[in-house]
Copies of this chain bind each other. A is one copy, B any other.
């Protein structure tokens, strides 16, 4: 069986001690319009299907990596040292093991996020993407973004889509080592598109996406039809993006998210991420749409909803959802240097 280390060695046959003292990067969060739900290979985070996302502009993670003269890696998240007995710490350190040039190499990783962590807002996606980009900066790896996408994927599946802004597709690939399972940016440009974040609960979710995903794959009686469902959704999404047909885009994204949650509902044990306010938001979206407003939602492994709408309707959206946080995916993307001034 192919290990993560095999893949790293295929991409980076020789990792040498960096010349630079630190590497920095920003990576945006991303929201899948066609969801990634289920792994064909758990070790390498290889997906069952392709997926397609939109990045959240300046919402994401800034990461700085430097070499440290210390006994163990230190990770600082939002100004707090992460305890070494946490899952979070171990997940990152295990990833760092893959690229340590010598066994004595020790890293300091400092990350700041401007989105809630582990609340279904793709924090691990932007976190691992930012880490990989910062490492690439530090080591000055001669790799294309598509290759870095493979590294990010091994940290967290959806992280492979967080290396770009705008629309991104993660192609499923077919190779056992996953070297053809990476993301790439799509040409579609849609400046009028907006994402509205409706945060129901910012606390960490009880079950990780990975666990929920695995439970679905193993127990849902309907999972075998998921690949066909996503494949059709991808086709419809490309068509909607190519023709800038917002109603079609919203309809396919909302249906795909609900189909994913339907799979979870049919798992044993059943997985329900929705909370009472989630249902209330859904009903409000449906009522608004029935009255003619072009608004749709998508939902990930958490209770929060993400609205899809066009800038022309922003005033109305803010009126209906006073607490909405609006994101313009094609505007004001921050540069690494700017966003990292305080790291």
Contact = CB atoms under 8 A, between A and B. Distances in A.
B262 A222 contact: yes
Interface string A250-290: 01001100110111011011101011100110100010000
A175 interface: no
Contact of A276 (B259, B268, B280): B280
Protomer copies:
2
A272 B279 contact: yes
Interface string A45-75: 0000000000000000000000000000000
A342 B221 CA distance: 48
Contacts of A272: 279, 282
Contacts of A266: 222, 255, 258-259, 262
Contacts of A279: 272, 274-276, 279
A282 B272 CA distance: 10
Main secondary structure of the interface of A (DSSP, over half): helix
A198 to B, nearest CB: 16
Nearest to A265: B262
A225 B228 contact: no
A177 interface: no
A224 interface: yes
Contacts of A105: none
Contacts of A265: 258-259, 261-262, 265
Interface residues of A, number: 29
A225 B262 CA distance: 13
A229 interface: yes
**Most chain B Cβ neighbours within 10 Å, of A221, A268, A274, A276:** A221
**Most chain B Cβ neighbours within 10 Å, of A222, A229, A261, A280:** A222
A232 B228 CA distance: 23
Nearest to A261: B265
A279 B201 CA distance: 15
Nearest to A255: B268
A173 B277 CA distance: 43
A220 to B, nearest CB: 8
A229 B221 contact: yes
Contacts of A262: 220, 222, 262-263, 265-266
A225 B266 CA distance: 12
Interface in A217-233: 220-222, 224-225, 228-229, 232
A130 to B, nearest CB: 34
Given A225-B224, A225-B225, A228-B221, A258 B276 contact: no
A282 B265 CA distance: 12
Nearest to A221: B229
A27 to B, nearest CB: 32
Contacts of A280: 276
Contacts of A268: 251, 255
A330 to B, nearest CB: 28
Contacts of A255: 266, 268, 270
5 contacts: A222-B262, A255-B266, A272-B282, A275-B279, A276-B279
